[in-house]
Amino acid sequence: GQQVMQIPQYQHVQEGEDFTTYCNSSTTLSNIQWYKQRPGGHPVFLIQLVKSGEVKKQKRLTFQFGEAKKNSSLHITATQTTDVGTYFCAERMEYGNKLVFGAGTILRVKS
Amino acid sequence: SAVISQKPSRDICQRGTSLTIQCQVDSQVTMMFWYRQQPGQSLTLIATANQGSEATYESGFVIDKFPISRPNLTFSTLTVSNMSPEDSSIYLCSSGRIYNEQFFGPGTRLTVL
């Protein structure tokens, strides 16, 4: 079945440093969604990308969808301690609307 | 957005017993889903809860083990049957409108002894 690979598995950064997580697929993705899960919390929707080459920004977060729609990235500029958590990418399947999640990237921020 | 509540928030159960988890959404939604998240892992879809018909299960999940009900557009239950320690996990329900984002409940943390 369709799989979305996500790297890195884990990243520990100093506060103020940048952070990037990547999702890759061997097949064309119809769309990509990003979620954030705080420790002990539940996933919270961040963004959905659907167009080839799309770039969206939310304050310090920049989301990109590759030209071939086979990869996506989430970049955080100047991380803060409030950014800690696990970031998941997910493809929303056109049939049934279900989500197929990547493995997630755990972000820890040292202050 | 939708606000989703789940009950119970956590439970500790003995092997061989069953637990029913409830999910309530504050508005009528088309889609409701049940996910499992094992410790330190990603989310895996168990099934789509269909209103008025049987749930649609993903590969590796069966109705006898995870019976699901959805009597109306705002409520669903997931039962974890004949539990074993391998069923220890967080169970999350979600809802959303087609083509859009999903909103997740706070999860039910299940420990099976």
- Contact (CB<8Å) A98/B45: yes
Measured CA to CA in angstroms, residue A84 lies from A14, A15, A19, A64 at distances of: 11, 10, 11, 20
Residue B104 CA to residue A94 CA, distance in Å, equals 19
For chain B, percent of residues with pLDDT exceeding 70: 100
Instruction: Dump pLDDT digits (tens) for A25-53.
Output: 999 999 999 999 999 999 999 999 999 99
**Chain A environment of B103 (Cβ under 8 Å):** 45
- Contact (CB<8Å) A96/B56: yes
Residue B25 CA to residue B18 CA, distance in Å, equals 23
**What's the pLDDT at B52?**
84
Q: How many residues does chain A have?
A: 111
- Contact (CB<8Å) B101/A45: yes
User: Chain A closest CA to B98's CA: distance in Å?
Assistant: 6
Average pLDDT, chain A: 95
Lowest mean pLDDT among A32-36, B59-63, B100-104: B100-104
| Beta-strand runs (E) in chain A | 5-7, 10-14, 19-24, 32-37, 44-49, 55-58, 61-65, 71-76, 85-92, 99-101, 105-110
Instruction: Report the residue from A42, A48, A99 with minimal CB separation from B45.
Output: A99
**What's the pLDDT at A2?**
58
Residue of B nearest to A32 (CA): B101
- Contact (CB<8Å) B99/A97: yes
Q: Is the pLDDT of residue B13 over 90?
A: yes
Residue B70 CA to residue B25 CA, distance in Å, equals 12
> By three-state DSSP, how is residue B42 classified?
coil
When pLDDT is averaged across residues B25-37 and rounded to a whole number, the result is 90
Residues of chain A with a CB closer than 8 angstroms to some CB in chain B:
1, 33, 41-45, 48, 88, 92, 96-104
Would you tell me how many other CB atoms lie within 10 Å of the CB of residue A44?
14
- Contact (CB<8Å) A48/B43: no
When pLDDT is averaged across residues A1-15 and rounded to a whole number, the result is 90
Residue B30: pLDDT band with limits 50, 70, 90: confident
When pLDDT is averaged across residues B9-15 and rounded to a whole number, the result is 98
**What's the pLDDT at B27?**
86
**Chain A environment of B101 (Cβ under 8 Å):** 33, 45, 48
Average pLDDT, chain B: 95
